Structure 1
Amino acid sequence: MSKVKAVVFDLDGVIIDTEEVWEEVRRAYVAEFGREFLPDSQDRMMGMSTGEWSAHLADEVGVPRTAEQVAADVLGRMAERYKEALPLIPGAVDVVRSLTDYRLALASSSARILIDQVLATAGITDAFEVTLSTEEVPRGKPAPDVYLAAVQKLGLTPDDCAAIEDSSNGLRSAAAAGLAVIAVPHGVYPPAADALAQARLVVSGISEITPEAIATL
Structure 2
Amino acid sequence: MKKLKAIVFDVDGTIADTEKNGHRVAFNLAFEELKLDWYWSVAEYGILLSTTGGRERLLRYIKESHPNFKPTKKSLNDFIIKTHKIKTKFYLQLLKMGNIKLRPGIARLIKEARDKNIILAIATTTTYANVELLLKTNLGSDSINLFAVIGAGDIVQNKKPAPDIYQYVLDKLKLNSDDCIAIEDSYQGLCSATNADIRTIITDNSYTQKQDFSKSILHCNHLGENENPCTIHNNGNNLKKIIDIDLMQSLL
Q: Could you say which TM-score interval applies, normalised by the shorter chain?
A: 0.7 to 0.9
Q: Do the aligned partners of residues 136 and 152 (structure 1) sit closer, same or farther apart at CA in structure 2, a change above 3 Å counting?
A: same
Q: CA deviation at 1:26?
A: 2.5
Q: CA deviation at 1:139?
A: 1.4
- Is 1:82 equivalent to 2:95 in the alignment? yes
What's 2:243 paired with? 209
Partner-residue secondary structure (3-state), 1:164: strand
In 2, Cα distance between the equivalents of 1:192 and 1:204?
Answer: 11
Please say which of residues 66-75 and 90-99 is displaced more in the overlay. Answer: 90-99
- Is 1:52 equivalent to 2:56 in the alignment? yes
Within-5 A mapping of 1:1-20: 1-20=1-20
Q: CA offsets per residue over residues 128-180 of structure 1, 9 Å max, x none?
A: 10111132111111111111101111001212211000112111111111100
Within-5 A mapping of 1:42-121: 42-45=46-49, 48-62=52-66, 64=71, 66-85=79-98, 86-100=100-114, 101=116, 102-121=118-137
For these two proteins, the number of residue pairs brought into alignment is 215
In 1, Cα distance between the equivalents of 2:188 and 2:179?
Answer: 21
Give the aligned residue type for 1:98: E
Q: CA deviation at 1:84?
A: 1.0
Report the aligned-residue RMSD: 2.5
Please say which of residues 102-111 and 117-126 is displaced more in the overlay. Answer: 117-126
Q: Do the aligned partners of residues 119 and 150 (structure 1) sit closer, same or farther apart at CA in structure 2, a change above 3 Å counting?
A: same
Q: Percent identity?
A: 27
Q: Do the aligned partners of residues 15 and 9 (structure 1) sit closer, same or farther apart at CA in structure 2, a change above 3 Å counting?
A: same
> What residue ranges of structure 1 are gaps of 5+ in the alignment?
none
In 2, Cα distance between the equivalents of 1:12 and 1:80?
Answer: 16
Q: CA deviation at 1:60?
A: 4.7
Using structure 2 for the length normalisation, give the TM-score.
0.75
Contact 2:193-2:200 within 8 A present in 1 as well: yes
Q: CA offsets per residue over residues 64-88 of structure 1, 9 Å max, x none?
A: 4612111101111101110112322
Q: Which has the higher contact order (CA 8 A, sep 6+)?
A: 1
Give the aligned residue type for 2:166: Y
Q: Do the aligned partners of residues 37 and 119 (structure 1) sit closer, same or farther apart at CA in structure 2, a change above 3 Å counting?
A: closer
- Is 1:154 equivalent to 2:173 in the alignment? yes
Contact 1:36-1:61 within 8 A present in 2 as well: no
Give the aligned residue type for 1:109: T
In 2, Cα distance between the equivalents of 1:136 and 1:43?
Answer: 25
Give the aligned residue type for 1:67: I
> What residue ranges of structure 2 are gaps of 5+ in the alignment?
225-241
